[in-house]
Structure 1
Amino acid sequence: MKINWGTGIVLAFVAFISFILFFVVRMSMDNRADHDLVTEEYYKHELAYQDEIDAQNNAKKLEKIQLKRTEEGLLVVFPETIDYKKIKGKVSLYRPSNKHLDFDLDLRLSNTSLLIPDTRLLGGRWDLKIMWEYQGVEFLQKESFNY
C-alpha cells in the first residue's frame, strides 16, 4: 500500500487531534486537579467587591497595619493613633494550598495588637485579610506572607 503526501497530512492531523483530545479528557477527569471556586460563595462576594475597594481606599489613608513574627505567633499591630477599644472586625487567614487550614478570628483587642498563635499557622504561604470598622467607617487590608 502506497501512502501519498495528502494521506500523510490527513493522518498527521488525525494523530494530533487524538493526542490533544486524550489530554483534555485525562486532565478533566483527574482527581488531583481540583476545579472548585476559590471561595464557596464566589458570586455573593463579587457583588460586594466595590465595598471592598472603598474599604481598601479608606485603609490607605491611615497608617498601615504591621505584621510581626514573634516566638508566640504572628502579631498584628494596629496604629497607635486609633482607639483600639472602638475597633470591630474580623481577621481571615486563607491558605491557598489547603482550604481546611483556613480560619477566621474576631477582633477583640485588649491593646493595639492581636496575636495569632503559632499553633494555628503552619509553614508556607498565607493570605491575610483584615476587615475592620472604626467610628462607622470600614477598612480593609490584605497581605500575603510566608510563615
Structure 2
Amino acid sequence: MKINWGTAIVLVFIGFISFILYFVVRMNTEKKFEHDLVTEDYYKQELAFQEEINAEENGNALENNVKVKKIAEGLLVTFPKDKNYTKLSGTISLYRPSNKKLDFEIPITLQSSEILIPKNQLIEGRWNIMVNWEYDNISYLFKESFTY
C-alpha cells in the first residue's frame, strides 16, 4: 500500500494530537499531579489585602522580628524578646502549596517568647508560614517559605 504526502501529514497530526491529549488526560486524572488553589475564598481575602500589607510593614519595621528556625524537635517560632509575650495574641498558619489537606493553623498561646511546632505535624517538603500577631492593638505579620 502506498501512502501519499497528504495522508502522511494527516497521520502525523493525528499522532501528535493523540500524544498531547494523553498527557492532558493523565495530568487531570492522577492524584499526584493535583494542585489546589491558594485559598478557597480568594476574593474575600483580596479585600483585606491592604491591612495585610500594613501589618507586614509593621513587622518589618521592628528591630527584632519573628524568627523561624528548624530544630530536631520541629519548628521553633521565636517572638521579639523586647515584647511582653503575655500580651501577644494571634495565629500561626502553615500552608502547604501542594496539598491543602496538610494546611493547619495554631493559635498563639505563649509560656515564653517561643512556640514549638512539633515535627510530627510537618511532612517533608515546601511550606509557607504566616505569623499574624497583635501587640498593644498593633497588627504584625511575618511570612516566610521554607523546606522541611
**Both structures adopt the same fold (TM-score exceeding 0.5):** yes
2:126 corresponds to = 125
Q: Which runs of 5+ in 1 are unaligned?
A: 1-15
Q: Alpha-carbon deviation of 1:34?
A: 4.8
Give the Cα–Cα distance (whole angstroms) in 2 for the partners of residues 31 and 123 of structure 1.
18
From the superposition, tell whether residues 52 and 30 of structure 1 become closer, same or farther in structure 2 (CA, over 3 Å).
Answer: same
Matched, 1:139 2:140: yes
Give the Cα–Cα distance (whole angstroms) in 2 for the partners of residues 52 and 82 of structure 1.
21
Following superposition of structure 1 onto structure 2, how do residues 1-147 of structure 1 map, counting pairs within 5 Å?
34=34, 37-62=37-62, 63-147=64-148
SS in 2 for 1:43: helix
Q: Alpha-carbon deviation of 1:72?
A: 1.1
- Runs ≥4 residues deviating over 4 A: 19-36
Scaled by the length of structure 2, the TM-score of the pair is: 0.78
Letter in 1 for 2:91: K
Give the Cα–Cα distance (whole angstroms) in 2 for the partners of residues 146 and 26 of structure 1.
28
When the two chains are superposed, the root-mean-square deviation of aligned CA atoms in Å is 2.5
Scaled by the length of structure 1, the TM-score of the pair is: 0.79
Letter in 2 for 1:127: N
Percent identity, aligned pairs only?
Answer: 51
